[in-house]
């Protein structure tokens, strides 16, 4: 994307936005920067203005005004995406939905709720707790629900509870031509025509702006138990997971961290776990059933060279354990003072996971930059976090090489170039390698829904 593609904000548009939104339309450089930079290594690129929307009607107004002036719009939530998904590549308006954070309705008896797109994951779970319900999808970051829907987020609980693809029942969406539509009703399932809901989940804001999300919820389990277990070998850790799933144990979370990541976690979170390939487990169910699951998995782990389980039994211990896991990215980046992180993710069939991680680890051991491995092993999904010195461009080149090798390896195993981070600006070439001719269907979709190419342009597919 060359700077020449960037169109300055037309004065008439700026005037109209100022009139309608007052101080909630801004070109303050500090706020532009907040909306133009990324949580990871992707280059910042400023929008020309930011609008802080407070309602779907306001989103409609912004979309219509921008369409009239042919100015791009990039929906923005918490800004925690990792592939430059919200970077306004061609400037225009960053449409901030973070103050659309009302919980519209909770239907406890139906195990669902409707929230505005700017509601954050933790806010929602705090709201639900008293009703004995929770929303399981947990990508680590305290992302907005709209952002999570847009990137098809998943995370640590996906092995049991699925991803945003499974969690979203219905969406309210503003289309590129400014229509306010609802993709589905609140029924738990439907065979009523094309799956418009799944069309917008994972579309990264390129087909429209999600303003409300209706989500499936789950009852808080009667019992929750978590543990950590180190393994003599990577293969032993992965085999433990495969056998656990084969046995039909509905494990709620099972995460893998390699020795380098465990060193980073111990240092960052002041813990003293053995610095081995390690699994973090969580079990949900009735008291008796959790006990049974734990016995089964402990026996499987022992057969595969696992050490003793270190239990986190109180809620405080459990939250310390998962906080350490969730901060793995920051822990990895902190391995080098002043470093910047480049997190990447792939997902492969679980039978190929041990081989994929082993080959990746061998690659990383001969690399000129440090990197850690951490992943949602039950899904076959893992991350590599490259830890770069931002002042050494050659390190970025090295990360590019390693990332390309990782994606090629995952694709050769019939895997995908991203299990949960999305395509954004970082993985467009990878998507082309992954899909071949099918990519043309994605182009057809984008052209049909957004013929003027104004919705988060330059992401997912090149037109």
- In the window 130-169, what residues touch a copy of itself (CB under 8 A)? 132, 151-154, 158, 162-163, 165-166
CB nearer a copy of itself, residue 6 or residue 198: 198
> What is the closest distance, in whole angstroms, from the C-beta atom of residue 252 to a copy of itself in the complex?
12
Residue span binding a copy of itself (CB under 8 A) among the ranges 38-46, 328-336, 342-350, 358-366: 342-350
Give me the 301-320 binding string for a copy of itself, x by CB under 8 A, dash otherwise.
Answer: --------------------
- C-alpha to C-alpha distances, 328 to 85, 283, 291, 324, 384, nearest whole angstrom: 21, 21, 28, 6, 11
Binding positions for a copy of itself, 397-416, rule CB under 8 A = 410-411, 414-416
Tokens of 6: 């960037």
Residue in 187, 232, 362, 452 binding a copy of itself, rule: CB under 8 A: 187
Separation CA 287–CA 267 (nearest Å):
34
> What is the closest distance, in whole angstroms, from the C-beta atom of residue 25 to a copy of itself in the complex?
27
CB nearer a copy of itself, residue 332 or residue 423: 423
CB nearer a copy of itself, residue 312 or residue 377: 377
- If one asks whether residue 64 binds a copy of itself (CB under 8 A), the answer comes out as no
Separation CA 21–CA 10 (nearest Å):
16
> What is the closest distance, in whole angstroms, from the C-beta atom of residue 112 to a copy of itself in the complex?
7
CB nearer a copy of itself, residue 235 or residue 320: 235
- If one asks whether residue 221 binds a copy of itself (CB under 8 A), the answer comes out as yes
> What is the closest distance, in whole angstroms, from the C-beta atom of residue 45 to a copy of itself in the complex?
21
- C-alpha to C-alpha distances, 95 to 74, 114, 135, 173, 460, nearest whole angstrom: 6, 21, 26, 14, 19
DSSP letters, 159-193, are: HHH--HHHHEEEEEEE-TTS-EEE---SSS---SS
Binding positions for a copy of itself, 231-290, rule CB under 8 A = 242, 245-248, 250, 285-286, 288-289
Spatial CA neighbour of 215 closest among 312, 296, 365, 112: 112
CB nearer a copy of itself, residue 331 or residue 460: 460
**Residue that has been written with the tokens 């548009």 in this structure:** 13
- Pairing, β 93-96 against β 49-52: parallel
DSSP letters, 430-450, are: HHHHHHGGGHHHHHHHHHHH-
Angle formed at CA 431 by CA 35 and CA 423, multiple of 5 degrees: 20
């Amino acid at each position: 994307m060359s700077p020449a593609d960037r169109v300055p904000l037309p004065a008439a548009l700026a005037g109209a936005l100022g009139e309608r939104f007052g101080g909630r339309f801004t070109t303050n450089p500090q706020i532009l920067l907040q909306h133009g930079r990324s949580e990871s290594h992707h280059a910042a690129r400023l929008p020309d203005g930011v609008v802080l929307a407070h309602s779907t009607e306001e989103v409609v107004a912004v979309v219509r005004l921008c369409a009239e002036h042919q100015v791009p719009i990039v929906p923005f939530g918490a800004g925690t995406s990792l592939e430059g998904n919200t970077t306004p590549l061609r400037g225009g308006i960053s449409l901030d939905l973070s103050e659309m954070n009302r919980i519209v309705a909770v239907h406890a008896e139906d195990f669902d709720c409707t929230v505005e797109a700017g509601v954050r994951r933790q806010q929602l779970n705090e709201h639900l707790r008293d009703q004995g319900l929770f929303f399981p999808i947990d990508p680590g970051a305290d992302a907005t629900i709209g952002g999570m829907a847009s990137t098809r987020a998943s995370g640590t609980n996906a092995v049991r509870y699925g991803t945003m693809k499974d969690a979203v029942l219905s969406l309210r969406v503003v289309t590129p031509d400014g229509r306010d539509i609802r993709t589905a009703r609140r029924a738990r399932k439907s065979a009523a025509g094309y799956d418009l809901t799944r069309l917008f989940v994972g579309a990264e804001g390129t087909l429209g702006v999600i303003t409300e999300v209706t989500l499936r919820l789950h009852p808080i389990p009667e019992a929750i138990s978590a543990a950590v277990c180190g393994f003599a070998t990577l293969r032993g850790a992965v085999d433990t997971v495969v056998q656990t799933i084969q046995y039909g144990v509905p494990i709620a979370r099972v995460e893998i961290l390699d020795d380098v990541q465990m060193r980073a976690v111990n240092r960052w979170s002041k813990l003293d776990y053995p610095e081995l390939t390690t699994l973090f487990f969580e079990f949900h169910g009735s008291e008796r059933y959790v006990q049974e699951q734990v016995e089964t998995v402990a026996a499987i782990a022992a057969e595969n060279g696992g050490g003793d389980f270190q239990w986190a039994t109180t809620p405080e211990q459990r939250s310390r354990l998962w906080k350490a896991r969730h901060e793995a990215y920051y822990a990895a980046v902190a391995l080098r003072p002043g470093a910047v992180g480049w997190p990447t993710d792939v997902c492969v069939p679980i039978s190929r996971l041990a081989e994929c991680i082993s080959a990746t680890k061998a690659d990383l051991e001969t690399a000129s930059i440090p990197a850690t491995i951490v992943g949602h092993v039950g899904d076959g999904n893992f991350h590599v976090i490259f830890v770069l010195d931002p002042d050494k461009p050659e390190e970025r080149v090295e990360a590019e090489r390693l990332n390309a090798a990782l994606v090629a390896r995952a694709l050769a195993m019939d895997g995908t170039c991203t299990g949960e981070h999305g395509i954004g600006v970082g993985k467009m070439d990878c998507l082309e390698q992954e899909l071949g001719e099918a990519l043309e269907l994605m182009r057809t979709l984008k052209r049909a829904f957004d013929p003027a190419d104004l919705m988060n342009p330059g992401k997912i597919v090149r037109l």
